[in-house]
Amino acid sequence: MYLIGEALVGDGSEVAHVDLIVGEKEGPVGEAFANSLSNLSAGHTPLLAVVRPNLPAKPSTLLVPKVTVKDLDQAARVFGPAQAAVAKAVVDAVEEGIIPKEKLDSWVIICSVFVHPDAKDYRKIYHYNYGATKLALRRAMTNYPGLEKILYEKDRAKHPIVGFKVPRLWRPPYLQIALDIPDLERTKGIVSQVPRSDRIIFEVGTPLIKKHGAKVIGELRSLDRDMFLIADFKTLDVGKVEVDLAFEETADGVTASGLAPVETLDSFIYETRRLGIYAIVDMMGVENPMVKLQSLKELPEVVLVHRGIDVEKRGGSIRWEQIQAIKSGFKDRKLLVALAGGITPEIARDAINSGADIIVVGRFITQSRDIERSVRDFLECTPEMREDIDLLREHVE
- Characterize the bridge pairing of strands 60-65 and 47-48: antiparallel
d(CA 324, CA 319): 9
d(CA 320, CA 333): 20
Asked if 17 is an active-site residue, the reply is yes
Which member of 17, 44, 306, 395 is catalytic? 17
Per-residue pLDDT of 18-68, as tens digits, reads: 999 999 999 999 999 999 988 776 567 899 999 999 999 999 999 999 998
Q: Report all structural domains of the chain as residue ranges with CATH numbers, in order of start.
A: 2-144 (3.30.230.60), 174-386 (3.20.20.70)
Amino acid occupying residue 91: V
pLDDT tens sequence for the chain (397 residues): 899 999 999 989 999 999 999 999 999 999 999 999 887 765 678 999 999 999 999 999 999 999 988 888 888 999 999 999 999 999 999 999 999 999 999 999 999 999 999 999 999 999 999 999 999 999 999 999 999 888 877 777 777 777 777 778 888 999 999 999 999 999 999 999 999 888 999 999 999 999 999 999 999 999 988 899 999 999 999 999 999 999 999 999 999 999 999 999 999 999 999 999 999 999 999 989 999 999 999 999 999 998 866 665 565 667 778 888 898 899 888 899 999 988 999 999 999 998 999 999 999 999 999 999 999 999 999 998 987 655 545 445 5
Per-residue pLDDT of 197-249, as tens digits, reads: 889 999 999 999 999 999 999 999 999 888 999 999 999 999 999 999 999 99
